[in-house]
Amino acid sequence: MPAKDLHEEPFDDGTITKLEIFEDYAQAWIPTFVMKAEPIICIFDFFAGTGYDKNGIAGSPIRILDKIKDHIGYIFQKRVKIRVYVNEYEPNKVSQRKHELLVKACNEYLETNQDVKRAIEILTYNEDFETLFPKLLPEIKLYPSLVYIDQNGVRFLSDKYLLQFEKMTQTDFLYFASSSYLRRLGHTEQFKKHLQLDIELLKEVPYNLVHRNLISQLTLRFSNNTKLRLYPFSIKKGTNIYGIIFGASHPRAVEKFLSIAWKKNDVNGQSNFDMDQDIPSAQLDLFGIQKLTKIQKFKSTLRDMVLTGQITSNFEALDFVYAEGHIGKHAADVLKEMKQKGEVSYIANSPCINYEKVYKEKQLIKFNLPKK
């Protein structure tokens, strides 16, 4: 029997969507620390694959190198060293061969792009995640780090891994998991050894919303004063639904990811399909009332919170935006409309509901209700 071609499967549309989100976030993340002239920044790809698919479409490690290349001028100007850690491992006899293909793909890229080769230190591994992650954890903690974990299992979601990230302020991660795996194997002892979830609750929610519910359950395990925020992005692949879980503690990272997610889908910002059935938006509920879309619900709730005095400034509004997984524009549109109607006033041309105005410039805009 001929040896299996390790490039025989081309990436499907769902995988391409996942890779594009990984890539877009690297594009946004790298200059954040390069422009601060951090001496060393790190990118970890724990499930890197072989570098390319059968059709020569780049996988995550090559896309990471491409994003480094995009910022190469500033990287040299700011004298930043980027360490790239790539790992490919499978518990079978093809694992070594796949690792060899990964190393070959990365080396060939760097030989063709000598400027990237000079700017980075690349380290390759062929180790099980549970062995390698503890080894590299000190590096993740020490430097600004971007971590990709692309697997269908649940090991990373166990407390011994996930709760480590709650303590970090300069580490962002993107984790890829299968909802079908969670629902099918959640009752098994192997699953419970790594992660305790309310599987019955997970099964009660519609299948297409499973990652949203997963985020809710995971968040309950964090401390009350946690700064770590989690956001889902669901990807439909045939009849299965997979999910990216993004995690970060810094509000700038949150804003960057949410901007990317809403550009991917300007209807719900959480999937590559109509998970909330917002299209067509003119559909009616059981009582003949027009069903609100996700954005309309958010805007309606925000308006009510401003009118009742629960939200009184752009600082509080942005907090609500992040908590609900929206972008500042959605909230700004509401406040502008309310100002035009005379429902609220503020001394500025814009309500300034974004990271730059709130966290960087600390420009406080008070929302004043008309006197009765």
Kindly tell me if the per-residue pLDDT of 171 is higher than 60: yes
Q: What is the mean pLDDT of residues 129-149?
A: 95
Name which of 32-41, 71-80, 183-192, 241-250 the model is least confident about.
183-192
Kindly tell me if the per-residue pLDDT of 2 is higher than 50: no
Where are the domains positioned within the chain?
13-264, 277-372
Query: Is 234 in contact with 271 (CB distance < 8 Å)?
Result: yes
Q: What is the mean pLDDT of residues 26-44?
A: 97
Confidence of residue 94 (pLDDT cuts 50, 70, 90): confident
Share of the chain above pLDDT 90, in %: 66
Strand order in the sheet with 81-87: 120-125, 81-87, 40-45, 145-150, 171-178, 240-248, 229-237
CA separation for the pair 106, 167 (Å, rounded): 32
CATH of domain 13-264: 3.40.50
Name which of 17-31, 123-137, 280-294 the model is least confident about.
280-294
Kindly tell me if the per-residue pLDDT of 329 is higher than 80: yes
In the block, residue with structure tokens 């879309």:
293
Confidence of residue 3 (pLDDT cuts 50, 70, 90): very low
**For residue 256, what are the contacts with CB-CB under 8 A and spacing of at least 6?**
25, 28, 29, 32
CA separation for the pair 229, 248 (Å, rounded): 6
Query: Is 68 in contact with 117 (CB distance < 8 Å)?
Result: no
Q: How far is CA 14 from CA 47, 55, 201, in A?
A: 17, 16, 26
pLDDT computed for residue 292 by the predictor: 85
Q: How far is CA 174 from CA 91, 94, 107, in A?
A: 23, 26, 25
pLDDT computed for residue 1 by the predictor: 35
pLDDT computed for residue 212 by the predictor: 87
Model's pTM, two decimal places?
0.92
pLDDT computed for residue 159 by the predictor: 77
CA separation for the pair 236, 139 (Å, rounded): 34
Confidence of residue 156 (pLDDT cuts 50, 70, 90): confident
Kindly tell me if the per-residue pLDDT of 253 is higher than 70: yes
Instruction: Provide the β-strand partners of residue 233.
Output: 244
Question: Tokens standing for 199?
Answer: 């599987």
CA separation for the pair 90, 82 (Å, rounded): 27
More confidently predicted of 66 and 217: 66
**What angle do helix axes 328-340 and 314-324 make, rounded to 10 degrees?**
130
What's the mean pLDDT when you consider all of the chain?
A: 89
Confidence of residue 6 (pLDDT cuts 50, 70, 90): low
pLDDT computed for residue 96 by the predictor: 84
Name which of 60-64, 158-162, 353-357 the model is least confident about.
158-162
* Helix ranges (DSSP H) in the chain: 13-34, 60-70, 72-77, 95-112, 114-119, 129-142, 159-165, 179-185, 189-194, 199-204, 210-219, 251-264, 294-307, 314-324, 328-340, 355
pLDDT computed for residue 160 by the predictor: 77
Q: What is the mean pLDDT of residues 287-292?
A: 65
Kindly tell me if the per-residue pLDDT of 226 is higher than 50: yes
